[in-house]
Amino acid sequence: MNQKPTQKDLWKNQQLEYLHNCFIGISNLTCSNSDCPLVYSWGDIEKKQSKKGKVAFYKISQGKWVVVDLEKYEENDLGGYDNIEIKFKSGKSQRTKPTDYVEPKKDKGLISFISGILPNKPKPPKEIFLKDEEIVLFFNNSSKTSNLLDAETIYLDDLWETKERIKWDQKASKKKIINWVEQKVDGEDKAYKIDQWENDYIFNIHNPDITNEIKAHEVYSTQNNKEREQLWKDYHEELSELKEVYGIRHNIQQKEERQNNPEIDMIKSPFLALERDKWRERMKGIKDFEDKKGCNGIHTLSYGSYQEHQAEIMLQGQVENLEDKEEEENKEKPVEYLENHAKPN
């Protein structure tokens, strides 16, 4: 029987989902082909990369691809991958032909013997291996790890404890009415007093010198919330550290009027370094997808806002125009000129 998740479990799962979405939502992929299967599936690819660090893109048929789990792989000396194994949503697994695979030899005599004894026994199905051109691998970063590796242990447990202390302080700071009474309350021991103070609005204090039923009362409320302010400050500082360590974009200090653009860029720089690493890894998969004729369009990958993505598209367009211009200039030059410049000095 599955145990019901605690409030702490639900909170941590919610926080992890929010933090993963910060990574998933900042990645932008566009293609000059409006019907690109990679663009359609990019959100699912990013989700698996963020949570697992790796994912596979499998070709079902011409122009139709599906995102699947990447279970196993081995890097080879040529920069590629061998012994790949993927898993579909149904739980079915499929692999590429192992590098040390040996075709089983068929013993005709044994087969005839078994067929004579068990004539209706079906033959074992022949394993169908993945083809290299059917599979494209994507990795989250150069270390091939998930985005929030060990974040739950390092940060979220401590953040939860700080939240609990804040909650306790809020509860303890509630306004109360304190009555000074003559009659002793039944069961008035230390545990009773603590429970009454934490859960009741009215708190009775016994004083045998009081002659009236209720001699006096006073209203208690906290006048100083500095401890809670410090707890909230600690909470936000630790959350900010988590985001900085794992490369989630956020402003680590309040924007001031005196801040100019270079200062703001310096604030963003810790996140940009990790994003560039991710960009390079994803571009390897995108190039492999293009080389395997997954799409004939031009793909542009960027991180950040819409304006940053537009800047990336403009930069890519400038590079392509420069390459086209050089190609046109080389076509116009005499053959003798090209041959002379092609020879080594």
Which stretches of the chain are assigned E, i.e. beta strand?
A: 27-31, 54-61, 64-75, 81-87, 93-95, 135-139, 176-181, 202-206, 214-220, 299-303
Which residue from 276, 337, 27, 254 is spatially nearest to 141, judged by alpha carbons?
276
Task: Count Cβ neighbours within 10 Å for each residue of 250-289 and write b for 16 or more, e otherwise.
Answer: eeeeeeeeeeeeeeeeeeeeebeebbeebbebbeebbebb
CA end-to-end distance (rounded Å), the chain: 78
Output the pTM of the full model: 0.72
Q: What pLDDT score does 168 carry?
A: 84
Q: What is the CA radius of gyration of the chain?
A: 33
**pLDDT band at 121; cut points 50, 70, 90:** low
Rounded to an integer, what distance in angstroms lies between the CA atom of residue 133 and that of residue 59? 8
Task: Count Cβ neighbours within 10 Å for each residue of 307-324 and write b for 16 or more, e otherwise.
Answer: eebeebeeeeeeeeeeee
Q: Which residues contact 304 (CB under 8 A, 6 or more apart)?
A: 26, 28, 249, 275
Res 111 pLDDT > 80: no
Of the listed ranges 28-42, 186-200, 229-243, 265-279, the one predicted with least confidence: 186-200
Of the listed ranges 186-190, 218-222, 226-230, the one predicted with least confidence: 218-222
Of the listed ranges 19-23, 86-90, 322-326, the one predicted with least confidence: 322-326
SS3 assignment, position 311: helix
Q: CB-hemisphere CA count at 13 Å for 127?
A: 14
Structure-block tokens of residue 49: 């990369």
